[in-house]
Structure 1
Amino acid sequence: MTDQVVFGEVRLGPDELGVPLGSAATLVQFSSTFCQPCRMTRLVLERAASTAADVAYVDLDVADHLALGERLDVTVTPTVLVLDAAGVVRHRATGTPRLAQVRAALDAAADRAGEARA
Structure 2
Amino acid sequence: MRAEAGGPGAVGPGTDGPAAGRLGAAELGAEPGERASLVQFSSAFCQPCRATRRILAEVAGMVDGVAHIEIDAEDRLDLVRALGIEKTPTVLVLDAAGRIVRRAAGMPRKADVIAALGAAV
- Smaller-chain TM-score range? 0.7 to 0.9
Separation of aligned partners in 2, 1:64 and 1:39: 17
Which deviates the most, 84-93 or 7-16?
Answer: 7-16
Aligned Cα RMSD in Å?
A: 1.6
TM-score calculated relative to the size of structure 2: 0.85
SS in structure 1 at match of 2:67: strand
**Could you tell me which amino acid in structure 2 is paired with residue 16 of structure 1?**
E
Report sequence identity in percent: 50
Shift of residue 53, structure 1, vs aligned partner: 1.0
Separation of aligned partners in 2, 1:5 and 1:26: 21
Aligned to 2:57: 46
Aligned to 2:15: none
Gap regions ≥5 residues in structure 2: 13-20
Shift of residue 21, structure 1, vs aligned partner: 1.3
Alignment of 1:1-118 (within 5 A): 2-4=2-4, 8-9=11-12, 10-110=21-121
Moved over 6 A (4+): none
SS in structure 1 at match of 2:3: strand
Which deviates the most, 76-85 or 3-12?
Answer: 3-12
Give per-residue Cα distances to partners, 1:67-113, cap 9 Å, x unaligned: 00000001110000000000000000011111110010001122xxx
Separation of aligned partners in 2, 1:105 and 1:16: 22
Aligned to 1:115: none
Alignment length, in residue pairs?
110
Contact 1:14 1:20 in 2 (8 A): yes
**Could you tell me which amino acid in structure 1 is paired with residue 62 of structure 2?**
T
Separation of aligned partners in 2, 1:12 and 1:5: 19
Contact 1:5 1:90 in 2 (8 A): no
Structure with the largest fraction of helix: 1
Gap regions ≥5 residues in structure 1: 111-118
